[in-house]
Amino acid sequence: MRLLRTKHVMAMTGLSRMTIYRLERAGLFPARRKLGENSVGWIDEEIASWIDSRPSGGAAAASRSRAE
């Protein structure tokens, strides 16, 4: 188990810090762990699972596959 800092989670997910915090508050993103008075981290496996759970492609991929 590794703990990921905010900048690494942002880079992995492509989300901004505020979006991550909003999703977390809504229960749609893994909870952060308090590491110290002014630092937080996320468990790498939880972030990887969250990324894997996201739908891939979206509407753009669906329209491309219909055009082929």
Report the candidate in 14, 15, 2 with the shortest Cα–Cα distance to residue 46.
2
Give the C-alpha separation, 21 to 63, whole Å.
32
Q: Is residue 67 part of a domain?
A: no
Q: What range does the domain containing 44 cover?
A: 3-56
Number of domain units in the chain: 1
Q: How many CB atoms lie within 10 A of CB 42?
A: 24
Q: Rounded to the nearest 5 degrees, what angle is found at the Cα of 14, between the Cα atoms of 38 and 30?
A: 55
Q: Is residue 19 part of a domain?
A: yes
* pLDDT, tens digit (0-9, with 9 covering 90-100), for 6-65: 999 999 999 999 999 999 999 999 999 999 999 999 999 999 999 999 988 766 555 545
pTM across the whole model: 0.78
Instruction: For tokens 């979006």, name the residue.
Output: 19
Report the candidate in 54, 47, 37 with the shortest Cα–Cα distance to residue 7.
47
Q: Is residue 40 part of a domain?
A: yes
Q: Is residue 18 part of a domain?
A: yes
